[in-house]
Amino acid sequence: MKKAFLLTTLLTGINSTGSACPFCNKKVLEGIYNSQFYPNLLTMLSAFIVLAVIVVILVAMAAKRHRYRLAANPGTPILSPVPLTTASMVLGIGMGGFMDGIVLHQLLQVHEMLSNKIPATDYTGKSINMFWDGIFHFFCMLVVLAGIILMWKLLSRKDIDRSGKLFGGGLLLGWGLFNIVEGLIDHQLLKLHNVIEFSADHNTGNFIFLGVSAVMLIIGYVLVNRKHQHR
């Protein structure tokens, strides 16, 4: 932790007691690089790890279903819906994270990443939460980058279904899936923050968030499933 502090001080070239920027403020640095730094990093990463496991399971199930359809219709060319659905679902997860951070954290400012543990009611608390919001957005960027790579790999393939229903349904599936996993882990289990932090009743906002997310998930599933039935 001392190394991180010294490195930041060298990079800024400003006295650590200054308040012009978060990393020039000793209290902010101590609030970030303390004994909770790695636990906080792991707790924020946990939702993305769970999402990765769920995506792998869903993709394996979809691939198995496609193989059954091929076996039941020998000699019939059937385009695979799995690659496009997978890529769009990964993009949807990243977009869901970005929309959460941009709209709820930054524009509306109804909560921040650790606002239930570290109240963002003063300069120090706000700066610490902003740092962890940035870490959260960094993870979201990695997910979006993975989705873009998966999409790019589809350009040269001729054996895949490129239906708009699969694309739109996959986006909604990923978006809803992200919200539900993030809501259950960060809001309910780890209690890092609440949807509306300054509300007297946190449960109302948290449950509405989960309800809207479930609707998105269902709509996405219906779009993808109807495409399968149509085929």
Tens-digit pLDDT profile for residues 20-59: 576 788 899 999 999 999 999 999 899 999 999 999 999 9
Residues 83 and 152 in one domain: yes
Residues 117 and 14 in one domain: no
User: How is residue 32 written in tokens?
Assistant: 């970030």
As a whole number, mean pLDDT of residues 64-72 equals 90
Residues 46 and 29 in one domain: no
In terms of residue numbers, what domain contains 17?
Answer: 1-34
Residues 88 and 153 in one domain: yes
d(CA 218, CA 211): 11
As a whole number, mean pLDDT of residues 144-152 equals 97
83 and 154 in contact (C-beta within 8 Å)?
A: yes
Residue 4: pLDDT above 70?
Answer: no
Residues 6 and 66 in one domain: no
3-12 burial: b if 16+ Cβ within 10 Å, else e: eebeebbeee
14 against 116, higher pLDDT: 116
Residues 71 and 117 in one domain: yes
Count of alpha carbons within 13 angstroms of residue 160, beta-carbon side: 20
95 and 182 in contact (C-beta within 8 Å)?
A: no
Name the percent of the chain lying above pLDDT 70: 88
Residues 102 and 124 in one domain: yes
Residues 58 and 13 in one domain: no
Nearest CA to 82 out of 163, 156, 178 is that of 163
How far does CA 163 lie from the centroid of its chain?
A: 25
Residue 7: pLDDT above 60?
Answer: no
Residues 99 and 67 in one domain: yes
User: How is residue 180 written in tokens?
Assistant: 């539900």
Other C-beta atoms lying within 10 Å of the C-beta of residue 205: 18
Express each pLDDT in 73-96 by its tens digit: 888 888 999 999 999 999 999 999
DSSP H stretches of helix in the chain: 2-12, 26-32, 37-72, 82-99, 123-152, 164-182, 202-230
End-to-end CA distance of the chain: 57
Residue whose entry in the numeric block shows the structure tokens 């946190």: 202
Express each pLDDT in 165-201 by its tens digit: 999 999 999 999 999 999 999 999 999 999 999 999 9
Residues 97 and 1 in one domain: no
What is the count of structural domains for the chain?
A: 2
Kindly report the pTM of this predicted structure. Answer: 0.88
Per-residue model confidence (pLDDT) at position 177 = 97
Residues 58 and 168 in one domain: yes
Residues 46 and 9 in one domain: no
